[in-house]
Amino acid sequence: MDNPDWKDGYEVTFEVERDESIRAFSFWTRDGLVSKSSVRSPERALLAAIDRPGDETLVLDANYGVVGTVLAREAPNRHVTMAETSARAADCCRTNATLNEATNAEVELVPWAPDAEYDCLAFAPKPYVPTDVNKERLARGLSQTTPGGRCYVAATEELSAYRSVLST
């Protein structure tokens, strides 16, 4: 993939198997992003676990947009919002959504969660962010999730740290 605006970036190719078909995606990453040379294990786990995402899906800490882009591409009638706290990561999300033709994805640069309602929440906390901050981000994301909505969390650290937030 040739992208002249991303001379300082890295390309990551990722194949996703969903519904018995395999689709290849290409993502651009940059220095300062988590796992700039590969797709993180928690993001892979989210994609493996999310079997029925909602029509309005929120991806917290979208990093460079792997989960949001894949979910948006597989269902053009679904609206996916990727929330990021980093302008660099948000820019990557926008670029990757465009490069992978995920026209139903949008990116919000926000500290917590956009002010809207979602019926599916996906969260792969970044490992360098303090657990208390990740718990607050998750709690605020859950407050934007409709009753009966789905929540998916995948992390490299022990998930028991998030149990108290998820049980409320």
State the average pLDDT for the chain: 89
What single letter denotes the amino acid at residue 123? F
- The pLDDT tens digits of the residues spanning 73-84 come to 988 899 999 999
Please, are residues 115 and 144 in contact by the beta-carbon 8 Å criterion? yes
CA 60 to centroid of chain Cα atoms:
6
Model confidence band, residue 40 (pLDDT cutoffs 50, 70, 90): very high
Q: What angle do CA 147, 163, 153 make, to 5 degrees?
A: 70
Measured distance CA(32)–CA(135) in Å, rounded: 22
The answer to which of 55-59, 99-103, 125-129, 157-161 has the lowest mean pLDDT is 157-161
Q: What is the mean pLDDT of residues 28-54?
A: 88
Please, are residues 153 and 123 in contact by the beta-carbon 8 Å criterion? yes
Looking at residue 9, its pLDDT comes to 84
Q: What is the mean pLDDT of residues 146-160?
A: 87
Q: 11 pLDDT exceeds 80?
A: yes
Q: 34 pLDDT exceeds 90?
A: no
High-pLDDT (> 90) share of the chain, %? 64
Q: In 3-state terms, what secondary structure has residue 52? A: coil
- The pLDDT tens digits of the residues spanning 79-118 come to 999 999 999 999 999 999 999 999 999 999 999 999 999 9
Q: Which of the 8 DSSP states describes residue 65?
A: S
Measured distance CA(53)–CA(51) in Å, rounded: 6
Q: Residue 77 has which token pair?
A: 């009638």
Please, are residues 125 and 61 in contact by the beta-carbon 8 Å criterion? yes
